[in-house]
Structure 1
Amino acid sequence: MVLPLQKKIDAEILFMHIIITPIVWAKLTPEQENLFLDKKSEINAVKANLKDLVERAQAMGISANKLLVYSNGAERINKYVESEKVDMVVMGSHGTYGFKEHMLGSNTYSMLRRTNVPVIVIKEGFEHSSIDTLVIATNFREETGKSFAQIENFTELLKAELKVLYVNTPDHFVETNDILKIGQSFLDEFAAYNHEINIVDAFREERGIIQFAKKTQADAVAVITFGKSDLLQYFSPSVTENLIAMIDIPVISLRKNTF
Structure 2
Amino acid sequence: MKTIFVPVDFSKYSENALEVAADLAKKHGSRIILAHMLEIANSYLTKDQQQEVFNVMYYIKIADQHFKELRKKEYLKGIEVVEVMKPYRIFSEINTIAAEHDSDLIVMGSHGATGIKEVFIGSNTEKVVRTADIPVLVIKERSPDFHIDKAVFVTDFDDSNQDTFKKARKFFSYFDVEPKLLYINIPEKFMSTAEIKRNAHNFMSTAGIDPSDFDKHVVFYADYTAERGVFNYCEEAKIDAIAISTHGRKGLGHFFYGSVGEDVANHANVPVITFKI
Normalising by the smaller structure, the TM-score range is 0.7 to 0.9
Summarize the Cα distance change of 1:232–1:244 in structure 2 as closer, same or farther, 3 Å threshold.
closer
**Mapped pair 1:107 → 2:124:** yes
Equivalent residue for 2:13? none
Summarize the Cα distance change of 1:191–1:215 in structure 2 as closer, same or farther, 3 Å threshold.
farther
**Mapped pair 1:138 → 2:155:** yes
Structure 1 alignment gaps of length 5 or more: none
Residue by residue over 1:198-224, the C-alpha shift from the partner in whole angstroms, topping out at 9 and shown as x without a partner, is 001122221111111112211111111
Q: RMSD of aligned C-alpha atoms?
A: 3.3
Contact 1:92–1:104 (CA under 8 A) maintained in structure 2: no
Displacement of 1:178 in angstroms is: 1.0
**Mapped pair 1:51 → 2:67:** no
Mapping 1:90-169, distance limit 5 Å? 90-95=107-112, 103-125=120-142, 129-169=146-186
Question: Per the alignment, in what secondary structure is the counterpart of residue 177 of structure 1?
Answer: helix
Residue by residue over 1:137-166, the C-alpha shift from the partner in whole angstroms, topping out at 9 and shown as x without a partner, is 111111211111111111112212422211
CA distance in 2, matches of 1:9, 1:192: 26
Equivalent residue for 1:17? 36
CA distance in 2, matches of 1:210, 1:149: 23
CA distance in 1, matches of 2:264, 2:252: 20
Question: Per the alignment, in what secondary structure is the counterpart of residue 103 of structure 1?
Answer: coil
Contact 1:93–1:105 (CA under 8 A) maintained in structure 2: no
Q: Which amino acid aligns with 2:244?
A: V
Summarize the Cα distance change of 1:214–1:35 in structure 2 as closer, same or farther, 3 Å threshold.
closer
Summarize the Cα distance change of 1:150–1:230 in structure 2 as closer, same or farther, 3 Å threshold.
closer
Equivalent residue for 2:8? none
Structure 2 alignment gaps of length 5 or more: 1-19
Q: Give aligned pairs, total.
A: 243
Question: Per the alignment, in what secondary structure is the counterpart of residue 167 of structure 1?
Answer: strand
Question: Taking structure 2 as the reference length, what is the TM-score of the superposition?
Answer: 0.74
Equivalent residue for 1:254? 275
CA distance in 2, matches of 1:255, 1:183: 21
Q: Which moved more, 1:165-174 or 1:75-84?
A: 75-84
CA distance in 2, matches of 1:35, 1:226: 35
% identical equivalent positions = 26
CA distance in 1, matches of 2:160, 2:179: 20
